[in-house]
A and B are shown apart, each in its own frame.
Chain A
Amino acid sequence: MPRQHAALLATILVAMAVALFGGALNAYYLDVAMNVGVAVILVVSLNLVNGHTGQFSLGHAGFMAVGAYLSSACTLRFAPALATTAHPALAQHTLFFFALLVGGLTAALAGFLIGLPSLRLKGDYLALITLGFGEIIRVVFQNTPALGGAIGLNGMPPLTTVAWTYGTVAVTVFTITCLVNSTYGRGFLAVRDNEIAASSIGLDPTRYKVVAFTLAAFFAGLAGGLFAHLKLAIDPRGFDFFRSFELVAMVLLGGMGNTLGVILAAVLLTLLPEFLRPVAEYRMILYAVLLIGLMLLRPQGLLNFRLGRARL
């Protein structure tokens, strides 16, 4: 069995074991661990676009919102009917699987529809148009009464477990690592390194960009679904521009295109506010100062080790 497959399997098994004995562990730690997992999924998927493919998306939170809303709508609609079945827990988790899938696929569809026109643009302009689409997604949810409008949705069943979160983390990391290291995946790196050179050897840059964008949106949708069933209440303000920015900061901190680095960065930046809790008033100020200091002192990313970069 190849190394990557073994790692995938091992992670899923460990996650399931932890979930089984989760009752004995501190609920606060479990909650933080699941938050970290959601951040890792988001960041690894964003890294496919921003890091490996060299595009700059500032609208990742929008896709997360699509996943969160659609999967919540599914569970809210069907969960009550499943409570009377023979195995309610099993039925609920089956439902959750399909709800996540619906969220992810809708997010992917949104990613495809948004990516197709906007990926013709580059650099700053691409960042802005993705920001614009991200905000529009948010405003649309805010104005859809069926999805709770400005109040959002609440009362989702608490279905997100460590097994679901880290299972998805494992699948995300596995898919993206294997994709980037495959023959096909070399195209992403080629597009990043030199778009004109890539198209001159017969690769279609737009196609690679759209594939990266759609796939990243899919995983962001999954993360959104997990997030919604972890927090049990979502509202449009939770998916604003700041959220997207936070993810970009994580990618940058970890080193663009460095999967291991961005995972560490996601863990670090998710845990940081927890550690700063005693000085809550100064939390965001410290966060901002750290961010500026980091950019000034170590612009290539704090955690950009050789180990995690795609092998060439």
Chain B
Amino acid sequence: MSEFLQQLINALSLGAIYALLALGYTMVYGVLRFINFAHADVFMVGAFTGSYVAKHVPSGTLLGGLAVLFAAMAVCAVLGVLIERLAYRPLRRAPVLNVLITAIGVSLLLEYGVQLTAGANPRSFPAVFPVTRFQLGPLTVSSNQLVVIAVALALVGGLQWIIYRTRLGAAMRAVSLNPRAAQLVGINLNTVIAFTFALGSALAGAGGVLYALNYPSIDPFMGVMPGLKAFVAAILGGIGSLPGAALGALILGTAETFVGGSAYSTYKDAIAFGLLIVIMLFRPAGLLGRFTVEKV
């Protein structure tokens, strides 16, 4: 039983990181209807920014940790807006496939760009937050896990507030419902899309730092697997749905942690794709997604 609870805590912190990434995928899909494959690499850039900034702040303090986190978020937000402006905006009316290929092109560019500047070898990520272990009876909770869960909760709460309580958030919801009608009532599509990218990329940047804290080595390709899995989580919950992304991420984090702790641990990476296939076959719109009917 205590092992079960221990795994549940691990699952929660993994799921929280997936959730931060999945929200970005689902938001971009909501407004633009395409899969931003470069999102996973924004996550990687977040981790690298974190490791650079960490050299200039006192390590092992809460304030220093938060500074690293915010720096990574800011850099990623700018990066996200740049990517949208330079690569995706010119293709807004192009077929989905072309945008998808462009996204993968951007993803490669970021990966190999970072590899060129930072080197291909994995590097260790400094402990920017204070590190302690809490003993709750038989359970061990590391402070990093608590940081991950707390930051993820705060960010998701903030996102919820932005989307449901601000004018820009209302505009985002309008665009995701019907972009043309949104333009008709005077919403500036470009602003909303740029804002969506900034938000999603900032979350990915935070996710990158949190991921690096728990798995303390980073390399230019670290984003690929978490990115694919977070994307699966977004689909699982119903792409375009924010609560769905969070739910999907938690389910995936749990499934992966428990399989990873079982005798079938080498199949851990297949779990996400297995779930993807099951959900695609039985409920393609995802758990909380809406079905659309094809009309002639």
Q: Do A and B bind each other?
A: yes
Q: Are B270 and A139 in contact (CB under 8 A)?
A: yes
Q: Are A135 and B270 in contact (CB under 8 A)?
A: yes
Contact with A along B259-296 (1 / 0, CB 8 A): 00000001101100110110011001000000000101
| Candidate in A56, A125, A292 with the most chain B CB atoms within 10 angstroms | A292
| Distance of A128 Cα from B273 Cα, bound (Å) | 9
Q: Which of B95, B109, B112 contacts A299 (CB 8 A)?
A: B95
Q: Are A285 and B113 in contact (CB under 8 A)?
A: yes
Q: Are B105 and A291 in contact (CB under 8 A)?
A: yes
List of B residues within 8 angstroms of A120 by Cβ: 281
User: Which bracket fits the contact residues of B?
Assistant: 35 or more
Given A281-B116, A295-B101, A128 and B235 contact (CB-CB distance below 8 Å)? yes
Q: Are A295 and B98 in contact (CB under 8 A)?
A: yes
Quick check: is B118 within 8 A (CB to CB) of the other chain? no
List of A residues within 8 angstroms of B105 by Cβ: 288-289, 291-292, 295
Quick check: is A241 within 8 A (CB to CB) of the other chain? yes
Given A118-B277, A132-B277, A136-B270, A292 and B109 contact (CB-CB distance below 8 Å)? yes
Q: Are A135 and B273 in contact (CB under 8 A)?
A: yes
Q: Are B108 and A132 in contact (CB under 8 A)?
A: no
| Distance of A284 Cα from B100 Cα, bound (Å) | 18
A-B CB pair tally, cutoff 8 Å = 105
A123-152 residues with Cβ-Cβ distance < 8 A to B are 123-125, 127-129, 131-133, 135-136, 139-140, 142-143
Chain B residues touching A, majority SS: helix
Q: Enumerate chain A interface residues (CB-CB to B < 8 A).
A: 56, 117-118, 120-121, 123-125, 127-129, 131-133, 135-136, 139-140, 142-143, 196, 241, 245, 248-249, 252, 256, 281-282, 284-285, 287-289, 291-292, 295-296, 299
Please list 22 pairs of residues, one from A and one from B, whose beta carbons are closer than 8 Å in the complex, sorted by A's number.
Answer: A123-B96, A127-B100, A128-B35, A129-B277, A131-B273, A132-B274, A132-B277, A133-B273, A136-B273, A143-B267, A196-B294, A252-B98, A284-B111, A288-B112, A291-B105, A292-B87, A292-B105, A295-B91, A295-B102, A296-B91, A299-B91, A299-B94
